[in-house]
Amino acid sequence: MSEEARSALHVSYEALGASFASVRGRLVPERFGTVEDECATVRAAAGVVDRSDLGYLTASGGDAQRFLQGMVSNEVAALAPGQGTYALHLNTQGHIVADFYLLAMPDHFLLETARNRVEPLRAGLERYIVADDVELADRSDQFAALSVEGPAAGRLLTAAGAAALPGKEFNHVWVQLGGPVLVVRLSETGEEGYRLIFLVEYAQNIWDALTAQQQAVAWKPVGHAALNILRTEAGLPWYGIDMDERTLPPEAGLEQRALSYTKGCYIGQEIIERIRSRGRVNRRLTGLWLSGESLPAAGTKLFHNDKAVGTVTTAVHSPTLKRAIGLGYVRREHLESGTRLRVESGGTVEVAELPFHHLPVKN
């Protein structure tokens, strides 16, 4: 892995004894201790996760808001500076090119997506710029990010110097935490959560500002192995794992989070409206209670009698629930909670409602 692919905080993580893994082409901490301890820390106090696996686009120009309104799946026209949303960019067949958080700034929009989806997202949007006053720019190498998750997340940021915190999901404010930081209210675990976005050169100052509060507010660094478990417990699909360019948004259960049915036309909207009027898709992402001696690999088929009716996308051991859980696609006729299916590699699964662990974000 090249030096350029490392987090700006790699040396600090090495000093803490982190083990590393490649996530979306970036070398990030996989764990600092045990995943059981890190998951418990987020559920009981606060955990801080490196998000070098994320990338950033800016959309600027006089037509940026109007242009994005006609390109993405959720409402953009009504966003005021300091507000945001979760949205998708679809192709003309209604499949997901990228999912992202879209943040309205005073003079531009900031789009956060998986780092390996920045270029497909940029190219997909740029294809439709004709005479529009819109400029798209990849800012991924300029920005770094941390996620702060857990019931003590807000107290940690306040103790570190944040004068104000956003209250509503996707709202964001600028604060000083050893440098200027954009704090976004954003949970990926079901707990109180914030994304910290900042210029790379401020990374160490911001890390030091958080570290200085470890006696005042109980928090620990958390790796991506624990984050993957926590987001699975919260029932949140990840692009490249639980959805891709073959996935329709309703298949991934994204109607409430990412689709507006009242905003009017956008790329792929005709397909989405046709699905709504038809009332269903043939398969859907669902929770899975797992049994068996080992976790099934991604892509493992699920059977009802001798017929393949589904596929596993994620399988993890949940310390919170003290059992194995997963996500996967199952045909609609077998989606009833409690339905038992046979796993191709051995064992069984039981269809479960999502989320497994529901902790509503406090507003």
CATH of the domain at 29: 3.30.1360.120
326 and 314 in contact (C-beta within 8 Å)?
yes
Same domain, 324 and 213: no
Could you tell me if residue 58 is inside a domain?
no
CATH of the domain at 353: 2.40.30.110
Same domain, 329 and 205: no
* The pTM of the whole model exceeds 0.85: yes
Same domain, 344 and 218: no
Average pLDDT over residues 6-16: 96
Domain total of the chain:
2
pLDDT band at 4 (very low <50, low <70, confident <90, very high): low
DSSP state of 14: H
Same domain, 42 and 154: yes
Q: Tokens 């989320």 correspond to what residue?
A: 355
Same domain, 228 and 290: no
- With 80 as the cut, is the pLDDT of residue 2 above it? no
**Per-residue DSSP letters for 173-206?**
EEEESSSEEEEEE--SSSSSEEEEEEEGGGHHHH
Same domain, 289 and 351: yes
Q: Which of 169, 201, 233 is the last residue of a domain?
A: 233
Could you tell me if residue 79 is inside a domain?
no
Q: Which of 174, 206, 233 is the last residue of a domain?
A: 233
Same domain, 225 and 293: no
Domain hosting residue 187, numbered range: 3-52+141-233
| Secondary structure class of 1 (helix, strand, coil) | coil
- With 90 as the cut, is the pLDDT of residue 282 above it? yes
Could you tell me if residue 82 is inside a domain?
no
The tens digit of pLDDT for each residue in 231-263 reads 999 999 999 999 999 999 999 999 999 999 999
236 and 228 in contact (C-beta within 8 Å)?
no
